[in-house]
A and B are shown apart, each in its own frame.
Chain A
Amino acid sequence: MDEALRTACITMISASGLAKYFGGKRALGPVSFEIGRGDTVGFLGLNGAGKTTALRILAGDLRPSAGSLIVNGSDAIRDPIAVRRLVGFLPEQPPLYPDMAVGNYLRFAGRLHGMAPADVERRVGDVEELMGLKDVSREIIRHLSAGYRQRVGLAQAVIHEPELLILDEPAHDLDPAQIAEMRALLGALRDHHTILVSSHNLPEISQTCDKLLFLDGGKIIASGSEAELAARWLDTFRSEVAIRLPDGGRELELDADVAAMPPVAAAIAALRSIEGVLEIKAMAVPQEGGASIHVESGEDKRSEICRILVEQGFEVTRLERSREKLESVFLDLVRGAERARDSGNPAA
Chain B
Amino acid sequence: MRAIAVILRRELSAYFKAPLGYVVAAVVLLLSGLLFYAEALGPAAGARLSADVLSRFFFNVSGLVAIAAVVISIRLLTEERQSGSIVLLHTSPVRDRDIVLGKFFAAFAFLAGITLATLYLPLLVLVNGKVSWGHIAVGYLGVLLLGGAVLAIGLFASVLTRNSLAAAVTGGALTGSMFLLWPLAMVVGQPFAEVFAGLAIHGRHFSGFQVGVLHLRDVVYYLGVTYFFLLLATRTLDARRWQ
Residues of A in contact with B (beta carbons under 8 Å apart): 22-23, 59-63, 65, 81-82, 84-85, 87, 89, 91, 93-100, 108-109, 111-114, 156
Report the minimal beta-carbon distance from B162 to chain A, rounded to whole angstroms.
13
Q: A61-B87, A95-B86, A108-B6 are in contact. Are A113 and B241 (CB under 8 A)?
A: no
B128 within 8 A of A: no
Q: Are A97 and B84 in contact (CB under 8 A)?
A: no
Which of B2, B83, B89, B91 has its CB near the most chain A CB atoms (within 10 A)?
A: B91
**B17: A residues at CB distance < 8 A:** 99
**B7: A residues at CB distance < 8 A:** 112
B204 within 8 A of A: no
Pair count A-B, CB < 8 A: 69
User: CA separation between A302 and B121, bound complex, in Å?
Assistant: 86
Binds A, one of B92-100, B112-120, B178-186, B187-195: B92-100
**A62: B residues at CB distance < 8 A:** 241-242
Q: Are A89 and B6 in contact (CB under 8 A)?
A: no
For this complex, 18 residue pairs linking A to B, each with C-beta atoms less than 8 Å apart, are A61-B241, A65-B242, A81-B94, A84-B91, A84-B93, A87-B91, A91-B87, A95-B83, A95-B84, A95-B85, A95-B86, A95-B91, A97-B14, A97-B85, A112-B3, A112-B6, A112-B88, A114-B2
- Could you give, for residues 123-146 of chain B, a 1 whenever the CB lies within 8 Å of some chain A CB and a 0 otherwise? 000000000000000000000000
**A22: B residues at CB distance < 8 A:** 243
Q: Of all chain A residues, which has the CB nearest B238?
A: A63
Describe B's contact surface by its main secondary structure.
helix
Report the minimal beta-carbon distance from A169 to chain B, rounded to whole angstroms.
13
B215 within 8 A of A: no
B10 within 8 A of A: yes
Q: Are A95 and B88 in contact (CB under 8 A)?
A: yes
**B86: A residues at CB distance < 8 A:** 95
Q: Of all chain A residues, which has the CB nearest B94?
A: A112
**B85: A residues at CB distance < 8 A:** 95-97
Which listed residue, A81, A108, A111, A156, touches B95 by the CB 8 Å rule?
Answer: A81
Q: Are A60 and B14 in contact (CB under 8 A)?
A: no
Q: Are A63 and B91 in contact (CB under 8 A)?
A: no
B95-112 residues at the A interface, CB under 8 angstroms: 95
User: CA separation between A84 and B94, bound complex, in Å?
Assistant: 9
Give me 7 other A-B pairs in contact (C-beta within 8 A), A97-B83, A112-B6, A113-B93 excluded. Answer: A23-B243, A63-B242, A84-B94, A91-B84, A91-B87, A96-B83, A112-B94
Residues of B in contact with A (beta carbons under 8 Å apart): 2-3, 6-7, 10, 14, 17-18, 83-95, 241-243
Which listed residue, A63, A97, A156, touches B241 by the CB 8 Å rule?
Answer: A63
Q: Of all chain A residues, which has the CB nearest B6?
A: A111
Q: A63-B241, A97-B10, A112-B6 are in contact. Are A84 and B87 (CB under 8 A)?
A: no
User: CA separation between A59 and B14, bound complex, in Å?
Assistant: 27
Q: Are B241 and A93 in contact (CB under 8 A)?
A: no
Which of B3, B18, B87, B89 has its CB near the most chain A CB atoms (within 10 A)?
A: B87
Q: Of all chain A residues, which has the CB nearest B240?
A: A62
Q: Of all chain A residues, which has the CB nearest B241?
A: A63
User: CA separation between A63 and B92, bound complex, in Å?
Assistant: 14
**B18: A residues at CB distance < 8 A:** 99
User: CA separation between A56 and B83, bound complex, in Å?
Assistant: 17
**A95: B residues at CB distance < 8 A:** 83-88, 91
Q: What 5 A-B pairs come out closest when comparing CB atoms?
A: A95-B88, A112-B92, A95-B87, A93-B84, A89-B91
Report the minimal beta-carbon distance from B20 to chain A, rounded to whole angstroms.
11
**A94: B residues at CB distance < 8 A:** 84
Which of B7, B14, B242 has its CB near the most chain A CB atoms (within 10 A)?
A: B242
